[in-house]
Chains A and B, each alone.
Chain A
Amino acid sequence: MKKQKDTLMVASLKDAVGGAVIALLMALVMVGMKVDVASGRGAELFIEDRWAAVAMAVAIVFVGRFVLNLFYWKKEDTEKPRLGSLLPSVSSFSGLGRFATPVLLALAVILPFLLMYWLGSRGSRQYIDLAILVLTYVMLGWGLNIVVGLAGLLDLGYVAFYAVGAYSYALLAHYFGFSFWLCLPLAGILAAFWGIILGFPVLRLRGDYLAIVTLAFGEIIRVVLLNWYEFTGGPDGLSGIPRPSFFGLEFTRGEGGFADFFGLKYSSIHRIIFLYYLILIMALVTNIVTNRLRRLPIGRAWEALREDEIACRSLGINTTNTKLTAFALGAMFGGFAGSFFATRQGFISPESFTFMESAVILAIVVLGGLGSQVGVVIASVVMIGGFEFFREFEEYRMLVFGLLMVVIMVWKPRGLISSRTPSIALSKNAKGISADLVQEGTG
């Protein structure tokens, strides 16, 4: 027994030294040397060395591997627990969906007042702003979920429709003086129209090829907005986009404003809270429409299309129309979200519609679990909320972001909420089997 322990000790030590050497090699340049701009002596570059950090990184790897080897990996137990078992199990999460929805909804409705109560109108402003941002991404995630999650069409250029919505409103307001409430449906229609325009050429494509074409489409829209200086303002963007009114009441100080009408003391927070509820309602409408459509033939056709296009055609489903409606509807909600974005910011430029945005929205949908509505909410809160909360650790943000993605994909390869709820409930308690157990493509 003692002998066995000794060999384990030696083996662990060897492995830990190996790990430490690799860590040293990697950290030497990447951590140990930092290029900086010298202040005071012009803009000269110089290399700052940080050997202490390197030593620390190496030490962490060494100790970490040693301990893991000794107590976890090389244990004599025949059954080695997987990484997955360290984290909450699948079953503990599956009940979450049903339970989480009403709780999250109630929380979302009372959130601004909770924040106001705790932090006052001045202190809560930044958090309500953050909540608005999160909700915008929830809405975008839900919109993209129609295309990617339900219809299974991988769209890497979703931000294009967001941009079309934002610019539709901004331009219509700029050139014709249209109000937000008039432009909102117009922006949605225009985005849906662009969705169909994108849809036509990509009808025959699937998977990787579709992804590349949609990616290009997203870039085309952005580049056009950037270069059509006379019309869109190019890189200068468009500013002075009018704010939305509350049934004709502007959020302004003085007579005839929102505060005056309701006999409240004027505060800039009113507008923020109004915007919060506006995006909340818009997001909920997206969700309700999606859930409703899932139970209708068209929604079921989307899901069937994701599973097997050939089978769909052999069942008499017009796959062309099915794909185009998915693109158009997804794009429409993107357009709505875009015009909301424009009215909230008051200023837009092509900067806001880079590929990174598409990637973040897609990450939200994938991490949340393709096709899951609650999953999108959780993923948006974690990702967008996390992004903002860790703003102080700017340097490490992408590191944490990447790590989070890897962990979630190892732990739950199908996203946080991966069990698909059937679109029809059975009266009796029929045995349901989680989608985790079903390999896609069998049968």
Chain B
Amino acid sequence: MSSAQPLLKVRGVETFYGKIQALKGIDMDIYEGEIVTIIGANGAGKSTLMMTVCGTPQARNGDVEYAGENITYKPTFEIMRTGIAQSPEGRRIFPRMTVLENLMMGAMVTDGSTYEEDLARVFKLFPRLKERQGQRGGTLSGGEQQMLAIARALMSRPRLLLLDEPSLGLAPIIVKQIFDAIKELNERDGLTVFLVEQNAYHALKLAHRGYVMVNGVITMSGTGSELLAREDVKAAYLEGGAH
């Protein structure tokens, strides 16, 4: 898969919160059609890396390139119009707006001509949302909210989908549903996915490649199955294997 130019290229990125350095020189590549995951403990800087790709906060040093274009210092809203979409940490759906309105917000960056088609596509992926389309976002269950957050991101027809902890606070069966949907999107539509996860076992099983991050530094990388098989990864992030 490493033949062509990567879709997303991160080189030597350093990000700071005030004086605190959260990312200490990150290199990462994501190629078209891949699912790439970053695993790591709380506070390792996984979400910060994803947010740096989105431009809030911006990297102090280093470069983020998307499809050959340097996007390091672009404002967030412009980055999100170039074909990158994000389901942010904590889902952040609009609670007082209906499911349909939430999805419309996702389609804001498109010209609207493909709206019906995209809507049908996300409803097919998550039939539950179709049933609930007139309901307010805040009344959905946690799993449905996560589905909505992903569906909302998909409404902008992204080439690269960023998912920040989609399994957060969800029951195992729902996590499986969500991960199956991600897999389907990747295999059927060829969508490139960048996944940040605490749930290392599921993430590594799903992903083609993975990175392990510790204290703002990438310590390991490899294919999903390689990382899953490593004893040190097992000990640190899986604690007794599958669950």
Tell me the A residues contacting B by CB distance below 8 Å: 297, 300-301, 303-304, 307-308, 310-319, 420, 422-424, 426, 428, 430-433, 435, 437-443
Question: Contacts A310-B88, A311-B94 known; A424 to B100 CB distance under 8 Å?
Answer: yes
The distance from the CB of A320 to the nearest CB of chain B, in whole angstroms, is 8
Query: In whole angstroms, how far apart are the Cα atoms of A284 and B136 in the complex?
Result: 29
Q: Please indicate the chain A residues that have their CB under 8 angstroms from the CB of B108 in the complex.
A: 297, 300-301, 315-317
In the complex, how many angstroms separate the beta carbon of B99 from the nearest chain A beta carbon? 9
Which one, A307, A308, A315, A440, contacts B80 given CB within 8 A?
A: A315
Is A443's CB under 8 angstroms from B134's CB? no
Complex formed: what's the CA distance from A431 to B108 in Å? Answer: 25
Chain A residues whose C-beta falls within 8 Å of the C-beta of B76 in the assembled complex: 313-314
How long is the Cα–Cα vector from A319 to B77 in the complex, in angstroms?
A: 8
Kindly list chain A residues whose C-beta atoms are within 8 Å of the C-beta of B86.
Answer: 314
Contact B77 A443 (CB under 8 A): no
Q: Which residues of B contact A424 (CB under 8 A)?
A: 98, 100-101, 104
The chain B residues found within 8 Å of chain A, CB to CB, are 54, 56, 75-78, 80-81, 85-86, 88, 90-98, 100-101, 104-106, 108-109, 133-140, 145, 152-153, 156
Known contacts A315-B156, A422-B101, A443-B137, A307 near B54 by CB under 8 Å: no
**Bound-state Cα–Cα, A423 to B153, Å:** 20
Q: A307-B94, A316-B81, A318-B77 are in contact. Are A433 and B105 (CB under 8 A)?
A: no
Is B105's CB under 8 angstroms from A315's CB?
Answer: yes
| B135 near A430: Cβ-Cβ < 8 Å | yes
A313-B77, A313-B80, A430-B134 given as contacts; is B91 within 8 A of A443 (CB)? Answer: yes
Contact B98 A443 (CB under 8 A): no
Q: Which residue of the partner chain, among A304, A315, A431, A441, contacts B109 with CB atoms under 8 Å? A: A315
Closest to B146 in A: A443
What residues of chain B lie closer than 8 Å to A437, measured between beta carbons? 139
A298 to B88: give the CA distance in the assembly, Å.
22
Q: Which residue of A lies closest to B84 (CB)?
A: A316
Chain A to chain B contacts (Cβ below 8 Å), 17 pairs: A300-B97, A300-B105, A300-B108, A303-B97, A307-B94, A307-B95, A311-B92, A312-B105, A313-B56, A313-B80, A315-B105, A423-B101, A426-B133, A433-B139, A438-B138, A440-B96, A442-B95
Asked if residues A442 and B138 are in contact (CB atoms below 8 Å), the reply is yes
The 4 closest A-B pairs by CB, nearest first: A430-B134, A316-B80, A438-B138, A316-B109
Find the A residue at minimum CB distance from B92: A311
Check A443 against B88 for contact (C-beta < 8 Å): no
CB neighbours of B140 from chain A (8 A): 443
Whether B95 contacts A315 by the Cβ 8 Å rule is no
Residues of A within 8 A of B90 (CB): 443
Q: B105, A304: Cβ atoms under 8 Å? A: yes
Q: Helix, strand, loop or mixed for chain A's interface?
A: loop
Task: Identify B97's interface contact among A317, A422, A441, CB under 8 A.
Answer: A422
- Complex: how many Å from CA A431 to CA B134? 6
Q: Are A311 and B93 in contact (CB under 8 A)?
A: yes
User: Closest Cβ of chain B: how far from A265's Cβ, in Å?
Assistant: 55
B95 touches A443 (CB 8 A): yes
- Which residues of B have CB within 8 Å of A431? 134-135
A315-B153, A440-B138, A443-B93 are known; give 15 further A-B pairs, CB within 8 A: A300-B101, A303-B94, A307-B94, A313-B80, A314-B88, A316-B156, A317-B108, A431-B134, A435-B136, A438-B138, A440-B96, A442-B138, A443-B91, A443-B140, A443-B145
Q: In the complex, are the beta carbons of B152 and A315 less than 8 A apart?
A: yes
Kindly provide the distance from the CB of B28 to the nearest chain A CB, expressed in whole angstroms. Answer: 20
| Nearest CB in chain B to that of A305: its residue | B94
Quick check: B77 and A317 within 8 Å, CB to CB? yes
Complex CA–CA separation, A314 to B80 (angstroms): 6
Bound complex: CA of A297 vs CA of B112, how far in Å? 11
Flag if B137 contacts A432 (CB, 8 Å).
no
Q: How far is the CA of A317 from the CA of B80 in the complex (A)?
A: 8
Q: Are A443 and B104 in contact (CB under 8 A)?
A: no
In the complex, chain A residues whose CB is within 8 Å of the CB of B156: 315-316
A300 to B109, CA, bound (A): 13
Residues in chain B near residue A319, CB distance under 8 A: 77
Inter-subunit contact A433/B136 (CB<8 Å): yes
Given contacts A313-B77, A315-B109, A420-B96, contact A438 B136 (CB under 8 A): yes
Q: How far is the CB of A204 from chain B (nearest CB, A)?
A: 12
- For B81, the chain A residues whose CB sits under 8 A away are 316
- Chain A residue numbers with a CB within 8 Å of B56 are 310, 313
| Residue on A nearest B55 in the bound complex, by CB | A313
Q: Considering the chains assembled together, what is the distance between the CA atoms of A311 and B133 in angstroms?
A: 19
A residues in contact with B104, CB < 8 Å: 300, 424
Q: In the complex, are the beta carbons of A308 and B94 less than 8 A apart?
A: yes
Give chain B nearest CB distance to A322 CB in angstroms: 10
Q: Which residue of B lies closest to A319 (CB)?
A: B77
Q: If the complex has contacts A313-B56, A316-B81, are A435 and B101 also in contact, measured as CB distance less than 8 A?
A: no
Of all chain B residues, which has the CB nearest A321?
A: B77
Kindly provide the distance from the CB of B70 to the nearest chain A CB, expressed in whole angstroms.
18
Q: A300-B104, A300-B105, A303-B94 are in contact. Are A432 and B134 (CB under 8 A)?
A: yes
Least CB distance from A323 to B in Å reads 12
Residues of B contacting A428 in the complex (Cβ-Cβ under 8 angstroms): 134
Residues of B within 8 A of A308 (CB): 92-94
Q: Could you tell me the distance between the alpha carbons of A300 and B105 in the complex, rounded to whole angstroms? A: 7
Known interface pairs A314-B86, A430-B134, A443-B138. Does A422 touch B98 (Cβ–Cβ under 8 Å)? Answer: yes
For the complex formed, measure the closest distance between the CB of B168 and the CB atoms of chain A, giving whole angstroms. Answer: 12
**Bound Cα distance from A442 to B141, whole angstroms:** 11
CB-based nearest B residue for A435: B96
Q: Are B88 and A426 neighbours in the complex by a CB distance under 8 Å?
A: no
| Contacting residues, chain A, for B78 (C-beta < 8 A) | 316
Nearest A-chain residue to B134, judged by Cβ: A430
Interface centre among B54, B81, B138 (most CB of A within 10 A): B138
Q: Measured between alpha carbons, how far is A318 from B109 in the docked complex, in Å?
A: 10
**Across the interface, which residues of A come within 8 angstroms of B133, CB to CB?**
426, 430
State A426–B100 Cα separation when bound (angstroms): 9
**In whole angstroms, how far apart are the Cα atoms of A433 and B139 in the complex?**
8
Q: Which residue of A lies closest to B79 (CB)?
A: A316
Complex Cα distance, B79 from A318, in Å, reads: 11
Contacts of A430 in B (CB 8 A): 133-135
CA gap between A348 and B191 in the complex, in Å: 63
B162 CB to nearest chain A CB (Å): 9
